[in-house]
Homo-oligomer: A and B are copies of this chain.
Amino acid sequence: MDTYTAGKGTPKRPLPVALDAMGGDKAPAALVAGALLAVRGGTPVVLVGDRDVLGPLVPPGVDLPIHHCETAVAMDDSSPVAAVRSDREPSISVAVRLVAQGQASAAVSCGHTGAVMAAGLLRLGRLPMVERPAIMLVVPRIDGGTLVILDLGANVDCRPSQLVQFAVMGHAFAHALIGLPVPRVGLLSNGEEPGKGEQRVRDAGRLLAELPLNFVGNVEPTAAFKGACDVLVCDGFVGNVMLKTVEATAEVVGHILREEILRHPSAKAGAWLLRPALRRVRERTDYASQGGALLLGVKGVVVVGHGRSDAAAVRSAVVYAARCAAERVPERITQALSSLCQP
């Protein structure tokens, strides 16, 4: 039997990260390749998925066990909760269950975000005081600081009270994990004046102003990336559109730049000289390659990778997940939440 058994006979070995090897646009090849990169870098991984599919992709002699699982959630599955609950448990859910059972330190999936959310809720459960988990990304700001953004797609049609919860969780993460003494919390809006924004944003703003948080009010996207706040809170629909607009714009700019370079003969030489700088620009704006997003608010570490993740992005997500587990993110969020809610 080639299912994963580490941890039973080798108690001192660090727990592996459980990687859903069947989820993502480039699954399974990019997932296995990313896992191999992580393993070679010293992060143990267990692949979750069909052993008949995955086995041939793992080179002999590499310590990359496979936890067998026959089913996976399709990217267009409209009832992920049902998929996770079904008798034929999909790979996303199995990966998260290994965390709940203490057989893995963290779970990573580049698959169906709704299914990751469902698996997190059903297999791990919510942290105390958390109403809804949120998907959180940590990105570099252009002032050199760090911006925590949530929710990026776990919850649509949020109530104002849920936005407040995201603010509290984001504050707890920024304080406990990034080490900011007093993180500035902002609400994503279409204008910085308090009267701006949709109804839920205006209502959430009133609720946040009453909490012992450093709430800086409404923040527009440009201001957020320039440093107006450390934690940017939004409904998952708006947040996801914002994130995908960042990707779209970076792609459009790159496309137009290529077109213009081909049009100007002297620019070709310039582009050649600029190549290292342009590569760094791509790396610094490709948030997917920087580790993936964290499902914040469940009793365990679950990282949501980008659906389009290549091997390098998968490796980043696995390494990020292992780091969040080593840093005991869920426990520290719980501590921060209880100290914030009982001042």
Residues of B within 8 A of A248 (CB): 220-222, 224-225, 246
Q: In the complex the two chains form, is B157's CB within 8 Å of A198's CB? A: yes
B contact residues around A269 at 8 Å (CB): 270, 273
Q: How far is the CA of A153 from the CA of B220 in the complex (A)?
A: 13
Question: Is there contact, CB below 8 Å, between A193 and B76?
Answer: yes
With an 8 A cutoff between CB atoms, is A129 at the interface? no
Q: How far is B271's CA from A301's CA once the two chains are assembled, in angstroms?
A: 43
Q: Please report the C-alpha to C-alpha distance between residue A256 and residue B273 in the assembled complex, in whole angstroms.
A: 16
Q: Are B245 and A221 in contact (CB under 8 A)?
A: yes
Number of interface residues of A (CB under 8 A): 61
Within 8 A of B (CB), among A251-276: 251-253, 255-257, 260-261, 263-264, 266-267, 269-276
Do A256 and B142 touch (CB < 8 A)? yes
How far, in Å, is A52 (CB) from chain B's closest CB?
A: 28
A190 and B153 contacting across the interface, CB-CB below 8 Å: yes
- Indicate the member of A220, A237, A249, A261 with the most B CB atoms within 10 Å: A249
> A188: which B residues are within 8 A, CB to CB?
241
A253 near B250 with CB under 8 A, answer yes
A105 at interface, CB cutoff 8 A: no
Q: Are A246 and B244 in contact, with the CB atoms below 8 A? A: no
Closest 3 CB pairs of A and B: A270-B273, A270-B274, A260-B277
